[in-house]
Structure 1
Amino acid sequence: MRVLRGRSARPAADREHTARLLADAGDGTPGLRVWTPPRQVAFGRRDAREPGFERAKRLAADRGFEPIERDVGGRAVAYPGDALAFAHALPLGDGRGRGSIADRYGRATETLLEALRGLGADVSRGEPPGSFCPGDHSVRVTGGGKVAGIAQRVRGDAALVAGCLVVTPADAREIADATAAVYDALGVPFDSTAVGSVAAAGGPEAPKPLARALEDAFVDGPWGDGDPRIDRVDRDG
């Protein structure tokens, strides 16, 4: 499986790397990316239809988060610079099939749980009320705040299973502050105490070991081939 490492400093350029991963999957080449996106608030399609969208973007920018619009579903997600994102691009037109949307959500959630538990994090499915990017396919500190959410973008020839992962309590505080302002402008309920982190669950406090553990879990998982073929991103691209 092709594994793309690295990021670009500019959010727009960084998004292009993931877009190319999906395009390559449409041509039959599966790919995986686990990385730390540059500081941004990534708004979903529903957010762009809200009357407070322009105000929400200004509030994000005021806090040093570049506002961008993403292609997958879900509500706005803040990335403070050390939080992780992951994207698994899967061909759908190769005759093997990749299951239903629900199947992909279930397998991705289980893969994420296994990777985090393998690093000592006490995590479980679900999310507390008032979470960021609320959705059915989430991971939380057991009895605590939300750690990760998963979304999908599906085309006729490929699917992108993507998500975010809060690493440290400092990440959680920054995410909570930015999300509270943005969601208030959008009219979306939010509880700032509902943001958890991998470190708060007993896992590592650094993004790199988490990224490698996620890579290994997906490469060796139900869609992987156990053979990571590393391709690197030009940070200035």
Structure 2
Amino acid sequence: MIDRLVPDAARVRVVRGRPSSLDDDRAVLDAVTDRVAATGVPAVRAWTPHRQVAFGRRDTRADDYELACQRAEARGYSPIERSVGGRAVAYTGSTVAFAAVIPTAEADPRQGLDARYEAATTGVVGALRSLGVPARRGEPDASFCPGAHSVQAHGKISGIAQRVRRDAAVVSGIVVVDAHEELAAVLDAVYGALDVPFDPTSVGSVARAGAPTPPDRVVDALYDSFCGEVRRASVDAASLLDSDV
């Protein structure tokens, strides 16, 4: 049983910031994962991605996927495709994303799947509660990117997904900080095109839960909750794109 997402490690790399372009920002996670696999040192990244709608694989196979992309672009959101997770997720520019990359020692890396989900959900709930958000597990009906690993407080605030390689597991997710009405509006248009049930009032945020907090404080709360007392070595996200290790 994992009681923290980064357990019993001598140290953890904390990746901060984001590159200036959306494409470079997306490349950071692959660079982080390769570095974790090569060194065995876990890494955690929390940041505010560029304004975008990230579509899941099921979305890309929908009949009106192109219409959904057009609706996102019309509202100022760049459409991208992601390799992990379920349905579309939107990032307003103040929305926080997180990714914990854990080296896998098991013969079958999927053996730790449930434990990592449990630790990540516990970590998100703990981080939000430290900010005064009455967070709890679960999600309202017809939420964005519906799934079993979600956190809510006056609406869905966070969803968590996982991707497993032979040498590393990537546990990632989203925390809605504010602008939940804007996020709900773009997702309503996108989900309508995809013919996916969605209730705009199901979108929550840290601000809607009564604890307005800057994104950087949410980032720090996630680092504290995921890493605990493990010694942290900070690295700039953009620098990873110029490094071989």
- What is the TM-score when the length of structure 1 is the normalising length? 0.91
1:62 aligned partner: 74
1:2 matched to 2:10: no
2:118 aligned partner: 106
2:129 to 104, 117, 122: 117
> How far is the alpha carbon of 1:9 from its aligned partner?
2.8
1:82 aligned partner: 94
Separation (CA, whole Å) in 1 of partners of 2:204 and 2:158: 9
Separation (CA, whole Å) in 2 of partners of 1:99 and 1:117: 29
CA 98–154 in structure 1, closer or farther in 2 if over 3 Å, else same: closer
Separation (CA, whole Å) in 2 of partners of 1:204 and 1:217: 19
Structure 1: 4+ residue segments shifted above 2 A: 97-100, 202-205
Amino acid at match of 1:157: D
127-136 or 26-35, larger mean C-alpha shift: 26-35
1:11 to 6, 22, 37: 22
> How far is the alpha carbon of 1:11 from its aligned partner?
1.6
Aligned-residue RMSD, C-alpha: 1.9
Aligned residues: 228
Separation (CA, whole Å) in 2 of partners of 1:33 and 1:165: 13
* Structure 1: stretches of 5+ with no match in the other structure: none
Determine if contact 2:46/2:99 at 8 Å carries over to the other structure: yes
Separation (CA, whole Å) in 1 of partners of 2:143 and 2:22: 24
> How far is the alpha carbon of 1:99 from its aligned partner?
5.2
> How far is the alpha carbon of 1:233 from its aligned partner?
2.5
* Equivalence map 1:118-133=2 (5 Å): 118-133=130-145
Listed one character per residue, the Cα deviations across residues 105-139 of structure 1 (whole Å, up to 9, x for unaligned) are: 11100011111111111111000001011101000
* Equivalence map 1:35-184=2 (5 Å): 35-93=47-105, 100-141=112-153, 144-168=154-178, 171-184=179-192
Determine if contact 1:26/1:93 at 8 Å carries over to the other structure: no
Q: Identity, % of aligned pairs?
A: 48
Determine if contact 1:90/1:98 at 8 Å carries over to the other structure: no
* Structure 2: stretches of 5+ with no match in the other structure: 1-11
Amino acid at match of 2:203: V
1:20 matched to 2:28: no
2:215 aligned partner: 207
Determine if contact 1:204/1:210 at 8 Å carries over to the other structure: no
Determine if contact 1:98/1:104 at 8 Å carries over to the other structure: no
